[in-house]
Amino acid sequence: MNQILRIAEIVVPVFAVIGLGYACAWTRLLPARAADGLSDYVFVVAIPLMIIRTFIEAKLPEASPWGYWIAYFVGVAMVWAVGQAISARLFRRRLREAVIHGFASSQSNVVLMGIPLVLAAYGEAGAVPLFLLIAVHLPLMMVAATVMIEGGEAGLKPAALRRFAWNLVTNPILIGFFLGMVARSSGLSLGGIPKTVVDMIAASAVPCALFALGLALHRYGIAGDIALSTAISALKLMLLPLVVWLLARHVFDLSPVYAGVAVVFAAMPSGVNSYLLAERYKAGVVTAASAVSISSAASLFTAAFWLWVLGIGLN
């Protein structure tokens, strides 16, 4: 019971912010177009700055834990492929939507739920493996989704390939990823007023994204595309942590802490970035929004289940 209560303390604030956005739209305190502007701000400004800051401030060990990363991201790739196939083959969705649905099936809500839950379960021992995933999770997942959407639709036509190349060059996420790598390799550090500004904007990404999601839920509703949203949620909450657990413990033989952090990380609900990606490309928005909400609600119980599987008792 204590496990469920502790997880509820993490989940409830998430729904409170989403609910506030929904209420503002329902009462017409904010117009429907506010969701578009807010999601654009998060995608174009806040998340790229968050990526840059992550690269600059990352404190990674000298020896890269390749087995740990491979165990997690091979699991992600497998579940992403399953989710994308279900969307494309069973629900007959086009490529752009199918990629976004595969992304939603495998991309975790890290900041809002992953960090507090991992630290509560493993304490300081879980901080290093947690950060090793956080440092590459968002950039790698967003870049992969962007390339798959843009590249898959470009085909082999010269005009489409040029458009694809231009979209990559001007994509805010990829620009943030590139600038972050350049800043890290050059030894750049943030301090003083620049650090304060970047920290403020990066900190706004998550609450703004959740608020925008609440606005969008009022527009699209949570009941739309419920079958596919539920399937995505099941893949995210049960299949992904299962695959990661099998790979981490039985293939790569990781330590209990590293394997446990990877599993808890994988067991988090669909990240709000899947909704942001859908909103950005105007594809699968209803499904992505519903999957975020459904998986967040269900994770109250599934996260407790995986903590039980791992033998973790929260203090």
Each of the 315 residues of the chain gets a pLDDT tens digit; together they read 565 676 667 667 877 888 898 899 999 999 877 888 888 888 889 888 887 887 787 665 555 688 899 999 999 999 999 999 999 999 999 989 999 999 999 999 876 677 778 887 887 788 778 878 877 787 788 888 888 887 765 554 666 567 667 777 788 877 887 888 888 888 888 888 989 999 999 888 878 888 887 887 777 666 668 899 999 999 999 999 999 999 999 999 998 999 999 999 999 989 888 888 888 888 888 899 889 888 888 887 898 889 888 887 544
202 φψ region: left (φ > 0), alpha (ψ -120 to 50), beta (else)? alpha
Nearest CA to 310 among 3, 80, 10? 3
Global pTM reads 0.75
- Which tokens hold the place of 48? 């790229």
Nearest CA to 101 among 256, 276, 288, 266? 288
Place of tokens 């807010």: 38
Q: Are 294 and 11 in contact (CB under 8 A)?
A: no
Question: What does the alpha-carbon distance between residue 131 and residue 12 come to, in Å, rounded to a whole number?
Answer: 24
User: 34: buried, middle or exposed (CB in 10 Å: 19+, 13-18, 0-12)?
Assistant: middle
AA letter at 210: L
For residue 146, the model assigns a pLDDT of 81
Domains in the chain, CATH or no CATH each: 2-309 (1.20.1530.20)
